[in-house]
Structure 1
Amino acid sequence: MIPAASSAEIMCAQGFDTVTVDLQHGLIDYQVALQMLQATVSSGVAPLCRIPTNEPGIVGKLLDAGSVGIICPMVNTREDALRLARACFYPPRADQGKAGIWR
Structure 2
Amino acid sequence: MTEKMCLAEKLRVGQTVVSAWASLPSPIFSNLFLKSGYEAITLDLQHGLLTTADARDSIREIIIGGGHAVARTCVDDFKNASWLLDMGAEVIIAPMINSVADAKKLVEFCKYPPLGSRSYGAVGATMTSGTTMDEYFASADKKTLAIAMIETPEAYEALEDILAVDGLDGVFVGPADLSLTVSGGQRVEPVADASLAMQKDIAEKTRAAGKIAGIYCVSKGHLQHSKAAGYQFMTFGTDSTLFMSAASEAAKALD
**Which residue of the partner structure matches residue 40 of structure 1?**
62
Tell me the percent identity. Answer: 29
- CA RMSD, 1 decimal: 1.6
Number of paired residues? 97
Residues 1-80 of structure 1: pairs in structure 2 closer than 5 A: 1-80=23-102
Give the SS at the match of 1:86.
Answer: helix
Structure 1 residues without counterparts, runs of 5 or longer: 96-101
Bigger RCO (CA 8 Å, 6+ sep): 1
Take 2:113 and 2:77, find their aligned partners in 1: how far apart are those partners? 16
- Say whether the 8 Å CA contact 2:107–2:115 is kept in structure 1: no
Take 2:36 and 2:55, find their aligned partners in 1: how far apart are those partners? 19
Structure 2 residues without counterparts, runs of 5 or longer: 1-22, 118-164, 167-255
Measured against aligned partners, the alpha-carbon deviations of 1:27-62 in whole angstroms (never above 9, x if no partner) come to: 111111000001111222211000012332101100
**Which residue of the partner structure matches residue 233 of structure 2?**
none
Deviation at 1:26, TM superposition (A): 2.2
- Say whether the 8 Å CA contact 2:44–2:50 is kept in structure 1: yes
- Say whether the 8 Å CA contact 1:55–1:84 is kept in structure 2: no
Give the SS at the match of 2:41.
Answer: strand
Do structure 1's residue 82 and structure 2's residue 104 form an aligned pair?
yes
Greater C-alpha radius of gyration: 2
Q: TM-score, normalised by structure 1?
A: 0.84
Q: TM-score, normalised by structure 2?
A: 0.36
Take 1:86 and 1:52, find their aligned partners in 2: how far apart are those partners? 16
- Say whether the 8 Å CA contact 1:75–1:81 is kept in structure 2: yes
Deviation at 1:25, TM superposition (A): 0.9
AA aligned opposite 1:79:
A
Take 1:82 and 1:17, find their aligned partners in 2: how far apart are those partners? 29
